[in-house]
Every structure is written in C-alpha cells, then in structure tokens.
Structure 1
Amino acid sequence: MKYTNGTFTGTYNQCREHINASIPREHPENWPDGPWTVVELEPVIYVPDLKTVKEQAQAELVYIFEKRAEEIAGKYPWFERDTWQQQETEALAYQADPNTPMPLLTGIATQRGITVAELAQRVIANAAAWRAVAPDLCGQRQAASDQIENAETAEAVWQLMESLRNPPAES
C-alpha cells in the first residue's frame, strides 16, 4: 500500500522516513505534512511474451485435436489404441490366409466371445473408417500449428485459438 500528500508518494516506511517522525500506520489523514491519502494502485496485468503465448497455444492445440479424435474414434484406453496397427496387420493377414497365426486377434476374440473372422472384419472396417478422417485431423492440426508459429502477435495467436476452441457449428 502506498500513501501520498500530493508532493511525495511512498510506502508507509518511506513516508515515515520522509516525514522523519514516528507515525501510526492507521489514520494517515492525521500525519504531519498532510493530508495524506491512500493511493489506489492500478492492477498490473500480466501479458506473456509472444514465445510463451505460442508455446501455450501449441500445448493446447494437442489437447483440442486429441479431443476431436476421441469424438470420432470413441474413447479407447491408450493400451488398446497401441494395438490397433497390430490388429489391422493380423486382420489383413487373416483375410489372405486364415491359418496365419494371429495371437492378438485370437486373444481379443476369445475374450469377447466372437470368432476371429468376425473380429477381423470389424478391425478392417474400423481401420478404414479411421483412415478416412485421420488425414483431415492431422492436416488441420498441422496447419494450425504452422499458423501459430507464423503469427506475429499474441492477439493473432489468441484469435486463432479461440476459433479452434469454438469452431462454427456444422449444418
């Protein structure tokens, strides 16, 4: 907190030294050389530099597109997603030769109580569906990342991020 008498402004200790007297902290209006009043401080608004804004935007960009991918692909745990490529490889191998060993598909099909043939068909269909949308998501995220890096002002980054957070509703 700061105080002023119109000619000097300072903290309590600075005012006490300026007045060169012992003064009570309360009732500055009664201090010598007054009247003294409390100075209302303007809030200090933190505005990060452009590099920081871009770093924060890149991190949020990953979150935004992970959320969009989940909306399309559904919510699957990471350990299951990590098997998708192997599932597709085994499913395609099964189509070519049903006698090919496929430990992953066999284990999943057994736990689900369905045949490997049925699971292989589902895996191939799901992989094709994902491949139809993945390029768009990847391209959109990479384009947004480029726009962030090429932005010349924090305001431009904030505007881009706002448009990504709140995309127009599809009709």
Structure 2
Amino acid sequence: MLAPYSVVDACGRVLMGTMAPQRPHAEPGCTVVDELPPSEAHYRDLVAETWVPMPPRPSAAHVFDWPTHVWIDPRTLDELRAAQLAGINAEGRRRAAALTAGYPDFEQRTWPSQEREALAWAADQAAPTPYLDGIAAARGIEPAQMRALTLAAVQAFQTASQQLVGTRQALRDAIQAAATREEVLAVAWPPLPEPSPPPSSE
C-alpha cells in the first residue's frame, strides 16, 4: 500500500515528495515527514511540525533564503540601479508612444515640415508655408486656419514632450544619486496629465 512521504532538509525545504510503500531513506541532516506538502509553495516548520506557506514573491529578481524563510533580492546596488533605470526608460517609451498614438507613420514623417513652417509663421506671419497651404487646400479649409491649428498642436506637443524628457532625466538622476536599495526602488514615474495632441493639424 502506498503512503505519502516528504523528505525535507534542515531548513524545511522539500527535497522529495513521493507516494511509496515504505518510508524513504533520509540523508544525514534531513527528515522524513509522513505527508506531502499542500503545494510546492510550502516549507516544513520542523519545530512546530507543520507546513508553512511561503510568502508572496516580491519580484522575479527575488530568491528565497531558506535559512531565514524570507525573499531576498541578491542584486548589487549597481545592478539594482541598472534594472530600475531600464524600467524607467521603458515607461518613458510607453508614454512617448501615447503622444503619437493613432497617427500613421507617413503623417508623422511630415510633422517636422509642419512644425518648421508653423513656428516660422508664428515668428513672422509673412513667412511662406507651402506645405501647410497644400494640406489646407486638400482639407478644404483656409490656410490661416491650418497654420493656427498646426501651431497650437506644435506648442502642445512641445510642452508634453518637455515634461516627459525632463521627468525621465530627473528620475535617472535620482537613481544615480540614490545611496540605498530602498531609495533606488522608490524612484518611479509620477502620474502625468493626459497626453497632449502631437504636432498635427487634426
């Protein structure tokens, strides 16, 4: 007849769980328990003779320290800085992509021309705006309206992108200046307002 057995080490880590007709042999320093753990996420408290659930894993970088039964992050401070900066940059790219979401690539490639003409027109309303005038004609609106719409979009995009770039650089600086693990992990993007429209005439 098969019976449940677990072999655990001195830290309570399950080395083997099995159904067997007789108790398995335990190496020195190990203990045989006449039952299986409730799940793989349990360890054995050898003093209380009970199964204990492992605490939730804080992150993929954490490893379980069996002698103390706690999760620890083995990364050095420099490794932690690099990982935190990578996360900050990834979130920055996500927020930057939100500024231009919904606009096709071919239209985005025209934004430098639109921006250049709109800013020139803002500085001198006699400045030529042939590209914007062509868009206005195709769109069926007056050139002056097109210039004003584009200038407003350009200014809104500049404001949003300045905030985005400046915030990312401030977060990078904070990570580099952090002296402890806790300070590094505390560096995160603050909530930002809804993204402004990109430099398009729409």
Q: TM-score, normalised by structure 2?
A: 0.51
Q: Measure the CA separation in 1 of the matches of 2:155 and 2:89.
A: 23
Q: Measure the CA separation in 1 of the matches of 2:76 and 2:149.
A: 49
Structure index of larger Rg: 1
* 1:8-34 deviation digits (Å, cap 9, x = unpaired): xxx67xxxxxxxxxxx98366364899
The residue aligned with 1:96 is 126
Cα distance, 1:135 vs structure 2: 3.2
The residue aligned with 2:163 is 136
Q: Measure the CA separation in 2 of the matches of 1:58 and 1:114.
A: 46
Q: Measure the CA separation in 2 of the matches of 1:151 and 1:66.
A: 23
Higher relative contact order (CA 8 A, sep 6+): 1
Cα distance, 1:61 vs structure 2: 1.7
Secondary structure of the 1:96 match is coil
The residue aligned with 1:18 is none
Q: Which runs of 5+ in 2 are unaligned?
A: 1-5, 38-42, 45-53, 55-63, 66-70, 194-202
Q: Which amino acid aligns with 2:165?
A: C
The residue aligned with 1:26 is 20
Aligned residues: 148
The residue aligned with 1:37 is 32
Q: TM-score, normalised by structure 1?
A: 0.58
CA contact (8 A) 1:28 1:37 kept: no
Q: Which amino acid aligns with 1:96?
A: A
Cα distance, 1:145 vs structure 2: 0.7
Q: Which runs of 5+ in 1 are unaligned?
A: 13-23
Cα distance, 1:55 vs structure 2: 2.2
1:69-80 equivalent positions in 2, closer than 5 A: 73=99, 75-77=101-103, 79=105, 80=107
Distance 1:27 1:108, change over 3 A: farther
Distance 1:32 1:108, change over 3 A: closer
Alpha-carbon RMSD across the aligned residues, in angstroms, is 4.3
Structure 1 residue aligned with 2:77, among 44, 50, 68?
50
Point out the structure with the larger strand share. 2
- Percentage of matched positions with identical amino acids: 28
Q: Measure the CA separation in 2 of the matches of 1:123 and 1:32.
A: 77
